Amino acid sequence: MHEVKGKDGVGAVMDSMELERQRGITVQSAATYTVWKDVNINIIDTPGHVDLTIEVERALRVLDGAVLVLCAVGGVQCQTMTVNRQMKRYNVPFLTFINKLDRVGSNPARALQQMRSKLSHNAAFVQMPIGLESDFKGIIDLIEERAIYFDGDFGQVVRYGEIPAEFRAAAADRRQELIECVANSDEQLGEMFLEEKIPSVSDLKLAIRRATLNRSFTPVFLGSALKNKGVQPLLDAVLEYLPNPSEVPNYALLHQEDDSKEKTKILMNSKRDSSHPFVGLAFKLEAGRFGQLTYVRNYQGELKKGDTIYNTRTGKKVRVQRLVRMHADMMEDVEEVFAGGICALFGIDCASGDTFTNKDNSGLSVSESKQNPHRAEGPCACLELENGAQGEQESI
């Protein structure tokens, strides 16, 4: 763990540009991945500065869930409102992480109040800090009612314990507030609340997940990234409350072959299944030392090294000679990428927003595709912007 400014001579892994380390801010979005509890998580780190907001826009376009990072000192700032509008536009469910609780002047309660007043979110703490600023020792898990401490030089050893006596009354009040906020946005928990039943831990977690996916509730987590406090519970929450690729409906548009303007919307199969044709979206182009690097989100099927794919905008075909997974500015060659994955290709002539597919010449007519909405064969022209959850609702 390092600071972005790189005072230690190393700097943060995801902020690899020299300019980023000089300025102490993220300038361009960077992709990486991690495995947490045997689940692969693709991560895109985006800038927070208003001048670089297009980097957030094109990243949110392909993400299934997000973590909105707030500063415990600064709270909700101008650009937070812009990012909030972008997440709403793309219907991205999200968690909120209030960072820098170890800084002088940190006030997470004020940041939560600003989320409610400035962003109009139904938000509540799912954690509570044990001390603030230099006294920040750990967090209290309000759902499971236990204290969590982070031992070791880098906070890598997670230790659980009883809630300290002086925090028990405040923790009980915060937990009740959490239940009320979730009950306001989830029908099942709302019924239990009206019947004055005490929800179990699993009931509460399932209700938070449903409300988060509907974007009707925002769980708020706490910690200090530099000290690695609160990061492990946040990763647990990503697995518990954010959707996996197979739970997010994504659509493709199928153009008619007679040049008519009629378009058919097709639901893509986002499961890890190679029997469906490949459909991917180029969402970012980057000039690297090996030429143009094209970041692609795989929405359906399987992309293999050596495959021939078609750009549906230009009709040109190209062979995938090298397939890599990105870890900031480092690359790892891979043989295949399944639905839900993010990869990068070299030597592809395309524009940002182009769709790629392995055009199926099996003679399947457009009318058959209409009747079978789970197949996306044929010349898919583009991917719909509707990659959200269930309809119009008001959640990285």
What does the pLDDT average to over 150-160?
Answer: 87
Q: Which are the contacts of 63, defined by CB distance < 8 A and separation ≥ 6?
A: 44, 90, 92, 396
Domain at 368, CATH number: 2.40.30.10
Domain at 173, CATH number: 3.40.50.300
pLDDT of 375 over the 60 cut: no
Same domain, 186 and 308: no
Q: Per residue in 265-277, pLDDT tens?
A: 777 777 777 778 8
Q: Judging by DSSP bridges, how do beta strands 30-36 and 39-45 pair with one another?
A: antiparallel
Same domain, 75 and 224: yes
What does the pLDDT average to over 135-158?
Answer: 91
Q: Report pLDDT for 246.
A: 84
Q: Which residue has the higher pLDDT, 353 or 10?
A: 353
Same domain, 336 and 224: no
d(CA 136, CA 133): 6
Same domain, 217 and 285: no
Lowest mean pLDDT among 48-52, 84-88, 295-299, 321-325: 48-52
Q: Report pLDDT for 10.
A: 53
pLDDT of 206 over the 80 cut: yes
250: nearest Cα among 271, 267, 275, 272: 267
Q: Which of 243, 268, 300 is the last residue of a domain?
A: 243
Same domain, 272 and 376: yes
Q: Per residue in 173-185, pLDDT tens?
A: 999 999 999 999 9
Residue 395 covered by a domain = no
Residue 319 covered by a domain = yes
Q: Per residue in 3-33, pLDDT tens?
A: 655 555 555 655 555 555 555 566 667 788 8
Q: Which of 206, 223, 243 is the last residue of a domain?
A: 243
Same domain, 229 and 278: no
Q: Which are the contacts of 43, defined by CB distance < 8 A and separation ≥ 6?
A: 31, 32, 33, 34, 396
Residue 69 covered by a domain = yes
Q: Report pLDDT for 163.
A: 93
Q: Per residue in 278-296, pLDDT tens?
A: 888 888 888 767 678 888 9
Q: What is the mean pLDDT of the chain?
A: 80
Q: Which residue has the higher pLDDT, 142 or 272?
A: 142
Domain assignment of residue 116, given as a range: 65-243
Same domain, 113 and 178: yes
Cβ atoms of 123 and 213 within 8 Å: the answer is no
At 164, the pLDDT band (50, 70, 90 cuts) reads very high
Q: Domain count of the chain?
A: 2
pLDDT of 139 over the 50 cut: yes
Q: Which of 193, 220, 243 is the last residue of a domain?
A: 243
Q: Per residue in 318-344, pLDDT tens?
A: 888 888 888 766 778 888 888 888 888
Give just the sign of the alpha carbon dihedral 377, 382, 387, 391: negative
Q: Is the pTM of this model over 0.85?
A: no
Same domain, 161 and 182: yes
Residue 139 covered by a domain = yes
Q: Report pLDDT for 112.
A: 95
Q: Report pLDDT for 376.
A: 37
d(CA 237, CA 217): 14
Q: Report pLDDT for 198.
A: 87
